[in-house]
Amino acid sequence: MTDTLRIDTPDGTRLAVHRRGSGPPLLCVPGGPGRASAYLENLGGLDASYTLHVLDNRGTGQSELPADRSSLEFPRLADDVETVRVALGLDQPAVLGHSAGCLVTMAWAAAHPSAASAVVLVTPPGRRTGDDMADLPAIRAARAGEAWYAEAAEAAEILASEDVPSGARRELERAERPFAYGRWDAETQQHAAGTESQMSLRAWAGFDPGPGYDYAPMLAALASVQAPVLVVVGDRDGLTGAVIGERVAARFADARCVTIAGAGHYPWVDEPVAFAAAIRDFL
């Protein structure tokens, strides 16, 4: 059973936090960027061991779209994480971020280095922070024998260029989606099918602060985070790769990386038992 809590932020934007499960609190930050938290589901059954407090970032899901569009930038989303933590009375909770939500979680942890008991970063991205994703071509090439590969590879090549045809981005992203999963079957296709209905284009467009933003101070401050950190990657993640996990872990004083065999960018979908076990063992 899930209940939805409403949290008012200092600028008046009301956020939705979906609470489910029982046990110690686990505050969850979705990615996308700009995707409603529904895609996190129950994180491979973690709601059997933890009370999941799953945030819809501002402008997504049941959270309000702010009047100030600049507040959709990820450093401001990090402020929302702290607002939610305080409003819910979560004293040093474990905090989990996924994909672009890892960047939000990292910014929050950098600003509040003693506020978490543990931090979990699931399939963090590297493009914005300049982290190594050198294994990405090999991970994709290993899928060359699958029926969808040729179309997905062509779509990925076009999306990586600066010549994306006007109005074609959504169709290209749809064709590329199999790379995000460790397997492409009925279950993963159903998960992928929710993408478009869960996305907020305004939240997606507003996530990045812009070319003048300096990531260096935030990244340097991660060394002061007092909580232990777990970075989780999938060895078949065709969106961000797997080697990035060690690069991200190295930014923290106390961190380790776990690789889920057979999993892609959504390891709780591909390999729910192994994913949940890794989180439980860590926490």
2 falls in which pLDDT band (50, 70, 90)? confident
Q: pTM for the complete prediction?
A: 0.96
Q: What is the predicted pLDDT for the residue at 167?
A: 75
Q: What is the predicted pLDDT for the residue at 212?
A: 87
Q: What is the predicted pLDDT for the residue at 1?
A: 79
Query: Average pLDDT, stretch 28-32?
Result: 97
Q: What is the predicted pLDDT for the residue at 38?
A: 97
227-263, pLDDT tens digit by residue? 999 999 999 999 999 999 999 999 999 999 999 999 9
Domains by residue range for the chain, with CATH: 2-139+200-282 (3.40.50.1820)
Phi/psi at 128 (5° precision):
-70, -30
The CA distance from 100 to 102, in Å, is 5
In terms of Cα–Cα distance, which of 92, 91, 100 is closest to 121?
100
133 falls in which pLDDT band (50, 70, 90)? confident
* Strand extents, DSSP E, the chain: 2-8, 14-21, 25-29, 51-56, 94-98, 118-122, 229-234, 255-260
Q: What is the predicted pLDDT for the residue at 211?
A: 84
42-88, pLDDT tens digit by residue? 999 999 999 999 999 999 999 999 999 999 999 999 999 999 999 99
Query: Average pLDDT, stretch 9-30?
Result: 97
In terms of Cα–Cα distance, which of 255, 253, 263 is closest to 233?
263
160 falls in which pLDDT band (50, 70, 90)? confident
Query: Average pLDDT, stretch 179-197?
Result: 96
Query: Average pLDDT, stretch 110-115?
Result: 98
